[in-house]
Structure 1
Amino acid sequence: MRLGSGPVTSRDLQQPIVAGVVTAVVGFTSSFAVVLAGLRAVGASPDEAASGLLALTVAFGLLMSGLAVWTRLPVTLAWSTPGAALLVSTGPVEGGWPAAVGAFVLTGVLLALTGLVPWLGRLAAAIPVPLAQAMLAGVLLQLCLAPFTALADAPAAVGPVVLVWLLATRWAPRWAVPLALLGAFVVIGVSLATTGTSVPTGHLLPRLEPTTPTLTVAAVVGIAVPLTVVTLASQNVPGVAVMRSFGFTVPWRASMVTTGAGTSAAAVFGGHAINLAAISAALAAGDGAGPRERRWVAAFTAGLVALLLALTSGALVAVTEAAPAGIVETVAGLALLSTFAASMVAALATDTGRTSATVTFLVAASGLQLFGVGAAFWALVVGLVVRATLERRTAASVEQEEAADGAEDVRR
């Protein structure tokens, strides 16, 4: 058997296959709770949220396997976890769930256009990274606080989950969130047994629930625009960088068009956004995935495993609906802690941009609602205004002072 160039040994195939399984399982279990929370926040019913989770997983699973075969690169795809967190902070919009679905469809179109239209891609890239990361950090703040507020309200239920996460972070950091999720399932099982509650079995099998999309100004401005920015800045761009760090060049246009089209297709069934994977990309592209020329097999395998995991979408929603208060929010918050930390570091990395980044973060975290539009959009607007006025003048003043100091040194 030959895949690519050169003879293939059993180890050549074993390593990328195992890496692909790990990539899919870790990626799915680490963040599906965030996706469900985001979809429910913007108006999805339990069945519609399950449909969205199913549509996203099937779409990126198929596309990932297809891209891997076509490009012979370990290009991994995922749903936009930061985008789902954005939905949590946004909440219901004018027009309800159909308007949210319309915004998801438009997000897919915008993502595809960033690959097809060069100037649009440059425009998206022109948004300062510190501001985009500060907006994301502000969006994530409340979710990241959830494990600790829930711990105060329900220590007996939430405490074991947090403890498992802490221990796993020390001894098996890659599996910290999946193990915390397993701990949450144990807590849910004990709760159901002690209260005599049963999980409804009517919707355990996965099924797609189509929604006719509509467009409202509030949904376009409050969901589609910031969701596109967050997906590009916190998923697609870092995903390219991760791949480059392992010596692989991601085909930007093909990836954007593919993920954009997949987003729009999944959106009709409730999915919010598909993008290049960032963190989990290292699992399929790194040295642990075997010889370089075979690592595309890891991405191909991850796509197939994702299709299997999609079958659990209905059961996951049913179980989480029966969970004690705070459990799902705890798992979601723990899953986002590392993303929150990375966003804060990136937002405050430069001295000259800290004021605008701080203002952006605070506005995004405030939950501000104006004209039916959520805080994420206004955070970007205010941050850009501060950057263009206050910080531009500050930077000019610094340059003038440095020039004056330099002239004085010459005179001396």
Structure 2
Amino acid sequence: MAISSGSVAGPGGREGQAPAATPGSAAGHPRVGIGHPLMMGVIASVVGFSSTFTVVLQGFVAIGATPEQAASGLFAICVAMGAIGIGLTLAYRMPISIAWSTPGSVLFASTGLIAGGYSAAAGAFIGAALLVVLAGLVKPFGRLVASIPPVLANAMLAGLLLGLCLAPAKAVATEPALALPVVIVWALVARFKRLYAVPAAVLVAILVIAWSGPPLAGRIDHLWPDITFVAPTFSIATFISLAVPLFLVTMASQNIPGLAVMRVNGYLPPVRAIFVSTGLGSVVTALLGGHTLNMSAITAALCAGPEAHPDPRRRWVAVIASGSSYILLGFAATFAALLFAIAPPVLIQAAAGLALLSAFAAAMAGALENPADRDAALVTFVTAASGLSFFGIGSAFWGLVAGGLMMALGRLGR
């Protein structure tokens, strides 16, 4: 899918314009009040937060964040994505959902500690954020990013996800008493309502932590969010190994699907405004320990679709509710970080792995959908999953390089 800083192709209208009511939108449907989209927005935010906050915290800690920095980062991105989503939604009267980069957190978890610690990571967050701004302002650069073969981007993401998705099985093998309840609840709830499977599993994990871990009383001296300034440092090696892959997986796995969801529901989102605002917002969150903001795909599907409201002109209310809920959920960041700190690592990894199984399946399906490019996709996948590093540059970048060369070789002479 090609993107640019101009407009997104759609059925009539102009960029930044919500679709008009159609015979299939409001007419013929029962009258729906404002309470329904408000409720759907709250559900979307609670599901989105509970499903992946463990992934976000694990990513922060993996690349060197202290518990205070991790809590500050989670608080910052919750508040920023809620505020930016509300601002864009009010400005354009369309449901523009903003989220954190879950693939970015997966990248951090697979990268591990980097030279320079979390200050260097903050510098990489800023580098990726500025690349997002550049994609919004410079049309040729946006087109260049969109020209990266989706099969390679999906294969890279699948390679990064593999280790985390193996965690539930490893947890059951090493700590069955702790991990089995989490996995069983996830499977049972997924059988009837997949949307709530991961939140239910996370809730069980929290109960297991409270039951088996040290008592929380005496450990909580404040519930007000920790806000910590992280002074960024910059290096070329960190930019290539962390900032560039973070930018690519965010664009390929979050922004482009998010735009697609909006298009499917008849909206023509303001691409330039979205990229510039989320990029600049990510610069601010990086200084507080947070990482990249981007368009949401899952939350957007809930808030921009007919489930939110039959009339597409009224669905923007759902994002006002979800954005406000995200801001409120941000104030639970310190408590979430404390749970993460006292929990058995294998249990946190199991919860994170269950949350990412659907993303892994989608990434593998996208990587292998074209038989002619499967060799290139597999080379990208195994390279990214290997964890190799050359010149201080991690496996995500080398996976794209190896897969790109394999693809070019395969197409030579066609």
TM beyond 0.5: yes
Structure 1 gap ranges (5+): 397-412
Deviations 1:294-340 (A, max 9, x none): 10010111111111000000001111211123111111111110000
Cα distance between partner residues in 1 of 2:381 and 2:390: 17
Find 2:377's aligned residue among 345, 348, 357: 357
Residue 47 in structure 1 maps to residue 68 in structure 2 = yes
Q: What is the deviation of 1:207?
A: 2.1
Distance 2:157 2:163 in 1: 11
Q: Which protein has the bigger helix share?
A: 1
Post-superposition CA distance 1:154-212 (Å, at most 9, x none): 000000000110011011211111110100011011113xx657562135320210111
Among candidates 160, 169, 191, match of residue 190 of structure 2: 169
Alpha-carbon separation, structure 1, partners of 2:169 and 2:247: 30
Cα 1:278–1:206 change in 2 (3 A) is same
Q: Displacement, 1:123?
A: 1.1
Count of equivalent residues: 388
1:14 maps to 2:35: yes
Query: Aligned to 1:86, which of 80, 100, 107?
Result: 107
User: Which amino acid counterpart does residue 340 of structure 1 have in structure 2?
Assistant: F
C-alpha contact 2:20 2:313 (8 A) present in aligned 1: yes
Paired AA for residue 207 in structure 1: D
The equivalent position to 1:277 in structure 2, one of 290, 293, 296, is: 296
- Distance in 1 between residues matched to 2:85 and 2:215, nearest whole Å: 42
> Partner amino acid for 1:352?
A
Partner residue, 2:148: 127
Which deviates more, 279-288 or 161-170? 279-288
What's the CA shift for 1:272?
A: 1.1
* 1:371, distance to aligned residue in structure 2 (A): 1.3
**Correspondence for 2:278:** 259
- Partners of 2:136 and 2:142 within 8 A in 1: yes
Name the CA distance, whole Å, in 2 between partners of 1:277 and 1:196: 36
Q: AA paired with 2:147?
A: A
What is the identity, as a one-letter code, of the residue corresponding to 1:43? G
CA–CA distance in 2 between the matches of 1:244 and 1:60? 21
For residues 11 and 125 of structure 1, do their structure 2 counterparts lie closer, same or farther at Cα, with a shift above 3 Å needed?
A: same
CA contact (8 A) 1:203 1:318 kept: no
Asked if structure 1 preserves the Cα contact closer than 8 Å seen for 2:210 and 2:216, the reply is: no
Paired residue for 2:356, among 331, 336, 342? 336
Partner of 2:134: 113
What residue number does 2:163 align with? 142
Which residue number in structure 1 is paired with residue 330 of structure 2? 310
From the superposition, tell whether residues 211 and 197 of structure 1 become closer, same or farther in structure 2 (CA, over 3 Å): closer
Identity score, percent: 46
Which residue in the other structure is 1:153 paired with? 174
**Secondary structure class of the residue paired with 2:307:** helix
Displacement, 1:388?
A: 1.2
Alignment CA distance shift 1:118-1:16 (3 Å): same
CA distance in 2, matches of 1:56, 1:197: 25
Asked if 1:207 corresponds to 2:226, the answer is yes
Structure 1's 93 and 325: CA in aligned 2 closer, same or farther, altered over 3 A? closer
Which of 1 and 2 has greater Rg? 1
Report the counterpart of residue 395 of structure 2 in structure 1.
375
Per-residue deviation at 1:151? Answer: 0.9
Structure 2's unaligned 5+ residue stretches are: 1-18, 22-29
* CA RMSD, Structure 1 to Structure 2 (Å): 1.8
Indicate conservation of the 8 Å contact 2:41/2:318, yes or no.
Answer: yes
Is 1:191–1:324's contact at 8 Å kept on the other side of the alignment? no
Cα deviation for residue 10 of structure 1 reads 8.9
- Cα distance, 1:288 vs. partner? 1.4
Contact preservation (8 Å) 1:54, 1:310: yes
